[in-house]
Amino acid sequence: MTRHVVITGMGIISPVGKHPTEFFDNLMAGRSGIKHLQNDFIERLSISIGAPVEDFDPTAYFSKMQLSSIERFSQFALVAAEQAVQDARLELGEAEYARAGVCMGSCMGGIGTIEEGYVELFQHNKSRVKPLTVLLSMNNAAASQISIKYHLQGANMTYATACSSSAIAIGEAYRQIRHGYADVMLAGGSEAMLALGPMKAWEALRTLAQEDPSDAGASCKPFSKDRSGLVLGEGAAVLVLEDAERALKRGANIYAELAGYDCSSDSTHITKPDAAGQVRTMLNALREARLQPQDIHYINAHGTATLAGDIEETKAIRQVFGAYADNTPVSSTKSMHGHLMGATGAVEFMAAVLALQHNAVPPTINLQHPDPECDLDYVPNQGRTGLKLDAVMSNSFAFGGSNAVLIAKRFKV
C-alpha cells in the first residue's frame, strides 16, 4: 500500500527570517542574511563572513533549567518544530503517539558545546568538562528533544549526510508515511556551527566564498562567473508531514503534496560532484512523483556557488530536462541564506514549497557576470511573481556523494 503524503505545517529559524512568511518575503525581495560576523574570535578567521541567526533569545522560549540541557542547534530545532506544529494545528491523541515520529538532519550537532569542552581541556588545562556535554552535543539531540516534547513514539532518526542531511530526513520521513509505518512525521534539519573550530576547518578546505569588498551581503554568487564558494550559515527548518487522508479528515490546511523523493550516491569522489548521480536521483524522484520534466515549474538548486558544483548541477539539469531546461526557472537561495549544512535541504525545500504556494519564484542574487558554462534561467537578481506553478523540485547534492531530490506538487484530492 502506498499512501499520499502532504505538508500541513512549516516552521523556520534562519538567517533571513524566523517565520516562514518572513523568510519567503525576504527571499522574494532578494535580501541577504550574509554579513561580516561579530563573534569574539573573528580576528582569527581569514574569511570572516557567515549567515548567522541574529537576535535569537533562547530565554524567550526556554526556562534556564531547560537551557542547561538544550544546545543551540536543538533550540533552533525545537522553536522551528513548535511553529510547524502550531501552523498545522496538529493534535495527537494518545493512541496516535506510536504512529508519529521525527526525522532530522544535522552535520555537526552540538559542535559549539564540544568546542567549549576542548577549550576547557586543552587551552585552560581543566580536568573536567560540563557534565551534560554528551547530551548537549550528540547529533540526535535535536530530534530526541522534539520527540520528547510532542510524545512522538514512532521512528526517531537523525541523518548525517552533509549538505543533503535534512533533505534525506524529509524524504525518509515521507517514506515512513507513504509505506504505512507512521501517519504523522516532523521532519527537517538544524545546524549551529558558526564556532571557531568548524569555521577554520571549512576555511582550510578552500571552498568558502571570499568576502565581497563592497558588500559582505553579496559574497555568495551562485552561477556567476565571479563566484568563489559557499558561506556558512545556521538555523533550522521543520515541516509537518501527514498522511493525506488524515489531513483531509481533520480539515487541515494542506500546503502541498510531497510527491516524489530519491536518494543515491555518486560513489566517485568525496567532494567532486558527479552529474550522473544527480541525473539518476532527479529521474527517480520524477518517476516516483509520476511527473515529466516539463511538469516541474521551479527548481531550488543545490547551487553552492563552488566552481565545480554549479557547472555539474547545470549539466545534470540540462540532461534531465532536455528541451525544457531553458524554460524552467532554477534559483539558488543559498545566495541569501547561506549554506546551512545539515539544515539547508529543509530550508530550501521549504522555499520551494512556499514558491508553489505563492506562485512566485525567489531569485538567485549577486548574479552579475553570467558564466557561459552555467546557462540555465537562474532567475537572476529579481524574483518573479504572478506565475502558475504546479510542481517544484529541490536538489541537495552533498559532499560524500549523497544526493537527494524532493518534489512537491499542488495537492488535488
Partner 1 sequence: MSSLQTIQDLMVKQFDLKPEALTPDATLESLGLDSLSVIEFTFNLEDELKITMPEERIELKTLQDVVNLVDKLIAEQKNTAQ
Catalytic center residues: 163, 302, 339
Candidates 65, 95, 323, 413: give the one binding partner 1 (CB under 8 A). Answer: 65
- Answer yes or no whether residue 134 interacts with partner 1 by CB under 8 A: no
Burial class (CB in 10 A: 0-12, 13-18, 19+), 42: middle
- Answer yes or no whether residue 208 interacts with partner 1 by CB under 8 A: no
Min dist CB 67 to partner 1, Å, is 10
Per rule CB under 8 A, count of chain residues that contact partner 1 = 10
Min dist CB 145 to partner 1, Å, is 13
Closest CA to 98 of 182, 223, 214: 182
- Answer yes or no whether residue 128 interacts with partner 1 by CB under 8 A: yes
Closest CA to 184 of 270, 89, 263: 89
Cα distances (Å, whole numbers) of residue 120 to 110, 126, 170, 342, 396 = 16, 5, 37, 27, 36
Spatial neighbors of 52 by CB under 8 A, at least 6 apart, are 15, 33, 35, 37, 194, 233, 234
Min dist CB 68 to partner 1, Å, is 5
Select 38 or 63, whichever has its Cβ closest to partner 1: 63
- Answer yes or no whether residue 124 interacts with partner 1 by CB under 8 A: no
Strand blocks (E) in 136-226: 156-159, 184-191
- Answer yes or no whether residue 135 interacts with partner 1 by CB under 8 A: yes
- Answer yes or no whether residue 119 interacts with partner 1 by CB under 8 A: no
Burial class (CB in 10 A: 0-12, 13-18, 19+), 77: buried
- Answer yes or no whether residue 69 interacts with partner 1 by CB under 8 A: yes
Min dist CB 60 to partner 1, Å, is 13
**Calpha distance 152→313 (Å, rounded):** 37
Closest CA to 167 of 352, 31, 17: 352
- Answer yes or no whether residue 372 interacts with partner 1 by CB under 8 A: no
Q: Which stretch binds partner 1 (CB under 8 A): 19-27, 125-133, 148-156, 207-215?
A: 125-133
Contact predicate 188/77, CB 8 Å: yes
Select 93 or 131, whichever has its Cβ closest to partner 1: 131
- Answer yes or no whether residue 131 interacts with partner 1 by CB under 8 A: yes
Candidates 42, 92, 132, 216: give the one binding partner 1 (CB under 8 A). Answer: 132
Min dist CB 69 to partner 1, Å, is 6
Select 135 or 256, whichever has its Cβ closest to partner 1: 135
- Answer yes or no whether residue 130 interacts with partner 1 by CB under 8 A: yes
Contact predicate 229/271, CB 8 Å: no
Spatial neighbors of 127 by CB under 8 A, at least 6 apart, are none
Widest CA span in the chain: 64
Candidates 38, 68, 86, 368: give the one binding partner 1 (CB under 8 A). Answer: 68
Min dist CB 114 to partner 1, Å, is 17
Q: Among all chains, which residue has been given the C-alpha cell 578552500? A: 206
Contact predicate 83/266, CB 8 Å: no
Q: Which stretch binds partner 1 (CB under 8 A): 129-137, 183-191, 262-270, 356-364?
A: 129-137
- Answer yes or no whether residue 258 interacts with partner 1 by CB under 8 A: no
Residues that bind partner 1 (CB under 8 A): 63-65, 68-69, 128, 130-132, 135
